[in-house]
């Protein structure tokens, strides 16, 4: 099974090809009503905080200068020199929402435009669920997304959630993409894990950190040492420990959402 990063890039390649064939844009990454229950987590106490550049600091409401519910395109261009492509934000079970892949350069691969060295995905705020691909075609501030199981219109310049692939963005404790589970446990104590729909959801296994109820910290299913078919996929699995994962297992991606995640 491919890691979370590769799943997302594959989704973007498919989306961009489809967009060349249609007037509507397709886009996909994380569901917005998904949530992780963290109320029962105990024993998580962070160690001394690291000095993180505010441009790359991850909090429960922001990723660097990008804030949930706020405009983002000017910030991406002026403060980060990002280029971005409109398309999927996240996809689960054939239902994709709208978003933008952002990074240092737009390149063309097999006639499909994508981002070289992608750093984040900006999930676009929902404007109207459903509707036809022509309903708001004259409104420059929204775009249409259609996929197998859902469709809708999304605001081009309003943040719903942010998914991180770059190692540059970190929490105040220094936790980010590339941080090992060993280091996370050293800083936060005994860890709890969440297991979602492994067959359909990229990054379905996540480590839970009590100070960050709005942040999903994704692991690679291939780092799990047992049989994935034996994992309970109903949510928090308190039977899992760091010993269930390969030595050196690292965080593969992170998503900052608008609300604490209580249930998927």
Residue 115 falls within a domain, yes or no? Answer: yes
Residue 53 falls within a domain, yes or no? Answer: no
Q: By percentage, how much of the chain surpasses pLDDT 90?
A: 65
Cα 115 → chain centroid: 16
Per-residue pLDDT band for 50 (boundaries 50, 70, 90) equals: confident
**DSSP secondary-structure letter at 177?**
T
Contact, 11 vs 95, CB < 8 A?
no
Residue 51 falls within a domain, yes or no? Answer: no
Residue 231 falls within a domain, yes or no? Answer: no
Residue 234 falls within a domain, yes or no? Answer: no
The pLDDT tens digits of the residues spanning 124-136 come to 999 999 999 999 9
Report the distance separating Cα 219 and Cα 38, nearest Å.
17
Beta strands in 93-170 (DSSP E): 95-109, 112-129, 142-146, 151-164
* Assessment of whether the complete model's pTM goes beyond 0.85: no
**Total count of domains within the chain:** 1
Contact, 221 vs 228, CB < 8 A?
yes
Contact, 195 vs 242, CB < 8 A?
no
Residue-level pLDDT at 48: 55
Residue 226 falls within a domain, yes or no? Answer: no
């Amino acid at each position: 099974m491919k890691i979370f990063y590769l799943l997302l890039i594959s989704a973007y390649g498919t989306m961009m090809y489809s967009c060349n064939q249609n007037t509507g844009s397709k886009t996909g990454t994380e569901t917005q009503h998904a949530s992780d229950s963290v109320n029962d987590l105990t024993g998580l106490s962070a160690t001394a905080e690291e000095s993180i550049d505010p441009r790359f600091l991850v909090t429960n409401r922001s990723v660097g200068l990008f804030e949930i519910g706020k405009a983002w395109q000017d910030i991406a261009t002026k403060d980060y020199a990002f280029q971005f492509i409109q398309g999927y934000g996240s996809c689960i079970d054939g239902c994709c929402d709208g978003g933008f892949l952002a990074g240092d350069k737009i390149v063309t691969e097999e006639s499909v435009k994508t981002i070289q060295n992608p750093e984040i995905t900006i999930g676009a705020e929902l404007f109207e669920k459903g509707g036809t691909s022509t309903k708001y075609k004259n409104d420059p501030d929204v775009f249409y997304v259609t996929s197998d199981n859902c469709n809708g219109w999304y605001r081009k310049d309003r943040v719903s959630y942010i998914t991180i692939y770059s190692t540059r963005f970190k929490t105040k404790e220094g936790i980010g993409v590339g941080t090992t589970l060993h280091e996370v446990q050293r800083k936060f104590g005994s860890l709890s894990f969440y297991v979602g729909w492994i067959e359909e959801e990229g990054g379905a296994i996540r480590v839970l950190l009590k100070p960050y109820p709005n942040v999903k910290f994704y692991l690679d299913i291939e780092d799990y040492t047992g049989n994935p078919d034996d994992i309970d996929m109903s949510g928090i699995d308190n039977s899992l420990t760091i010993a269930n994962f390969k030595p050196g297992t690292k965080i593969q991606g992170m998503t900052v959402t608008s609300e604490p995640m209580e249930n998927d």
